[in-house]
Amino acid sequence: MADMTESRTPEFDYDVDTAIVTGATGDVGSWVVDRLADRGVHVVGLDLERPDGVRANADFRAVDLTEQGPTWETVAEVDPDAVVHLAAMSDPNSNPGTQLFENNITSAYNVLVAAGRAETDVVWTSSQATYGALFSETEWTPDFLPIDETHDRRPEDPYGLSKLCGEESARAIARRYGIAVTTIRPATVFSPDRTRARPSEDGSDLSDEATGGNFGSYVDVRDLARMVEAALASDHDGHETVLAVADENYLGRPTRELVEAVCGGLPADCDLEGRESALSNAKAAALLDWTPIHSWHDGNGEDVSDPTWL
């Protein structure tokens, strides 16, 4: 179970009785389910398969989100106060590019439209991969540092491209249906024990890509779950994008040195000090009143167990 004391603290005030969480049994989704259920929200978790265990304040349904009919019917039947879309294929090194791309854009579109038809606000996860660095096979350097939500997005890989298409879908559907959609771009997500959430499916080490592509930027999965709550509590209109990232890199080295080692130099516009993250969380603080509270450098989370109902 997640940290129960923290989970029940009413840090963010939101009026949600029922929420759909897609990707509910995943490495991120399961923590979000716990966070919301601990708060008293009735969570309807959607995934390709139901979990083995039972979770208070939650029930689970097996739904293939790439199928429009079942997705629309489920959202309409549940009639939730919010939809949290976390389901995705995330490793282009292990999954065929066409399959990953089609899965992610189709599932995101189906969920977003279903929410729009139900006049339900959405929080969903895009990715740092939209900037193009994470799985780039050509030279990539940032235009400025720290990177924020306005930085040019230029992905080359099917995962980053699928998330870029999802962001444009989110913008269009928020406009068409008049709902609020919060797009979260997480940095590399780590569990409390410092293992990488959403690890490579073929067992390969993605640390080189993560380090080279974002210079050690990361976010603790518990802080990402908190950002979902912060987004639910937000009263913004239309579509907004926010980065989810810790204040510092997890490598313990000056970030300027990391950028120079990877890129061979620094952009002319570079405002970084010490181990400050190469990705900015300033908009999340301003828009959502969210700041990270968990640090890689505080310990390895030995006293925090994963969700037990999986």
- Number of neighbouring beta carbons within 10 Å of residue 222: 23
Asked if the structure places residue 148 within a domain, the reply is yes
Please report whether residue 308 resides in a domain. Answer: no
Tokens 């066409």, located at residue: 98
Least confident of 61-65, 94-98, 251-255: 94-98
For range 1-25, the mean pLDDT: 77
Is 301 part of a structural domain of the chain? Answer: no
Percent of the chain clearing pLDDT 90 (strictly above): 79
Side-chain half-sphere of 17: how many Cα atoms within 13 Å?
3
For residue 271, which phi and psi values (nearest 5 degrees)? -125, 75
Classify residue 174: in a domain, yes or no: yes
Residue identified by tokens 């606000």 is 121
Domain membership flag for residue 70: yes
Q: Which domain holds residue 39?
A: 4-294
Q: Output the pLDDT for position 208.
A: 47
Give the pLDDT of residue 231: 98
pLDDT digits (tens, 9 = 90+) for 34-75: 999 999 999 999 999 999 999 999 999 999 999 999 999 999
Percent over 70 (pLDDT), the chain: 91
Q: Label residue 124 by pLDDT band (50, 70, 90).
A: very high
Q: Does residue 9 register a pLDDT over 80?
A: no
Specify the amino acid at residue 81.
D
Q: What is the CATH number of the domain that holds 112?
A: 3.40.50.720
Nearest alpha carbon to residue 23 among 136, 189, 217: 189
87 located within any domain = yes
> How far is Cα 99 from Cα 159, in angstroms, rounded to an integer?
10
Average of per-residue pLDDT across 129-134: 92
**pLDDT greater than 90 at residue 298:** no
- Is position 264 within any domain? yes
Taking a C-beta distance cutoff of 8 angstroms, is the pair 309, 38 a contact? no
Q: What pLDDT, in 10s, does the model give residues 165-223? A: 999 999 999 999 999 999 999 999 999 998 888 655 544 444 444 355 789 999 999 99
Q: How many domains does the chain divide into?
A: 1
Does 303 reside within a domain?
no
